[in-house]
Structure 1
């Protein structure tokens, strides 16, 4: 395993503890201009996110109505009543984003798909990078103020849904995640820089509880005058 990835996994709780766990849950409050651009402005209602840790499967509730939730896998996304009745579903959902620009409106299933893969990624980083099919290589470090953050470029396998095939992860001197760069392929492919803050420990796993994603300029710097996506997590539990 790549040395930096090994150090990052250890700093976030260690592979042994990760292998003992199968699920994560967290209360989520999200916002940012991306959702308004997509015609689906996000309210500040807390929602409960559940993700599987060793396969890409996620759900959030409520979604669209108090008695509804989502069910996401890379090959299918649905909106369901809590008793399991399907309200709407889409097979092979990634194909629905073909030809999208940043301004192309999303429908609720598009939003559910984005939420599913994004929060799954965030709640499993950096451990997902050691899953079968991922490849990681070292990249030039990022300098932030007085700190230098070493980085990894991850190539996501085709069977894992993510923002983009290639994504960059930067870690602080303590080897905790500090920044995550990617292109948002489901929104026209704009370049994003996401900063993470407020790390906490939950059931032996360390993870950031605040994320702020911005557009990324040609020089790699975040365009901080506009928050594209904000995510705040609380009541986190791994089991």
Structure 2
């Protein structure tokens, strides 16, 4: 990783500390306009999310009343019962979103894919910058909330399943992540501005516990409404 990635990762606890663990688990509360729009309101409003730190894997448990848990690996998504038996599964799940617009409803497996992809990326940021094939560069200053941030352009490796390969991270004077930008290609290339705050330190790693996602305008600034997704994390544990 380059010096930019190193400085951001160091501010969040450092790669050596991060690599002592293989999973992150947290209690998750999610709200916002997206879930009803997709016909999945309340399914994952309150659940526990677990993501791997050394491979692309995520799980939500319970998965509403539909399943005991979900399993996301990028190339496959599945819903499992309490005994670990597969209830539903889909290989190459991204292809199921072909032709989708923002308003297109999701089935349960599509929700599992979106939620797994999202939370894996969020909880592994910024440490994913150290992964092979992930590149980043400083593209200049950005003023927001009366503060001067740095905008860092990120390009994710082809091997990683993410919302879009080209994204951006904004960091403050302490090199803490304050915002993420991406285009959700599986929802009609919807542009999002994703704000993070309320950091806590867990086992030497700094995590934001509050996330708020708004539509992003062409000039890079967010719209005040609607609140697309809200995410609150509690009881974060490194395993």
Structure 1 and Structure 2 fold alike (TM over 0.5) = yes
TM-superposed CA distance for 1:45, in Å, is: 4.5
Aligned match of 2:9 = 9
Task: State the TM-score, normalizing by the size of structure 1.
Answer: 0.96
2: CA distance between counterparts of 1:135 and 1:52? 21
Aligned match of 2:231 = 231
Aligned match of 1:200 = 200
Cα deviation code 1:96-155 (max 9, x no counterpart): 111111111100100000010110111110000110111112213221133111121111
The answer to whether structure 1 residue 83 and structure 2 residue 110 are counterparts is no
> Mapping of 1:48-197 within 5 angstroms?
48-65=48-65, 68-197=68-197
2: CA distance between counterparts of 1:235 and 1:162? 25
Unaligned 5+ residue runs, structure 2? none
Query: SS at the partner of 1:112?
Result: helix
Query: SS at the partner of 1:59?
Result: strand
Aligned match of 1:34 = 34
Q: Which moved more, 1:106-115 or 1:38-47?
A: 38-47
Aligned match of 1:221 = 221
Aligned match of 1:19 = 19
Query: What is the CA RMSD across the aligned residues, in angstroms?
Result: 1.3
Q: Contact (CA 8 Å) 2:70, 2:77: kept in 1 or not? A: yes
TM-superposed CA distance for 1:29, in Å, is: 0.5
Q: Which moved more, 1:25-34 or 1:35-44?
A: 35-44
Unaligned 5+ residue runs, structure 1? none
1: CA distance between counterparts of 2:129 and 2:110? 25
Query: SS at the partner of 2:118?
Result: helix
2: CA distance between counterparts of 1:65 and 1:225? 30
Q: Contact (CA 8 Å) 1:15, 1:127: kept in 2 or not? A: yes
